[in-house]
Amino acid sequence: MLRIEPATEGDAALILRFIRGLAAYENLLDACVATEEALHRTLFGERPAAEVLLAFWNNEPAGFALYFSSYSTFLAKPGIYLEDLFVEPEVRGHGIGTALLARLARVAVERNCGRLEWSVLDWNEPSIGFYRSLGAVAMDEWTGYRLTDAALERLAER
């Protein structure tokens, strides 16, 4: 039996477990510096930066979706950006990922969002196939950019 519910402050350790599971799957565990304390502060503090949906399969933690608001100037509508979607390997194939995305799509529709979007690593063929099966379209003409660490600090000082 599948249950999906919004995360609460008491779920920070579980969220961190899922984040680390995703980081390991993406071969990025060394880049994962998140802590329970940081999750408490950024997800459940005075100004939450994101929201989380948790999935439970047979009352056991099974996966999560972490997302935040975005905005489309062309549509003049809010959107939702899915930062992370992860389902524990031992419970994949039960429709948990689909159910998390369907719940997130309902949230987007309820909030009158113009789109739901996310990124996927180009080598992650299982996920790419899954997203395509849902009707998602790759935005191949766009290239993502990121500033972090020293480069971010240097630009902020200009």
Which residues are designated catalytic?
A: 131
**Rounded Cα–Cα distance for residues 139 and 142 (Å):** 6
Q: Are 80 and 111 within 8 A, CB to CB?
A: yes
| Helix (H), strand (E) at residue 63 | strand 60-72
**Rounded Cα–Cα distance for residues 100 and 7 (Å):** 13
What number of other Cβ atoms are within 10 A of residue 43's Cβ? Answer: 20
> Encoding tokens for residue 17?
């477990």
**Rounded Cα–Cα distance for residues 86 and 97 (Å):** 7
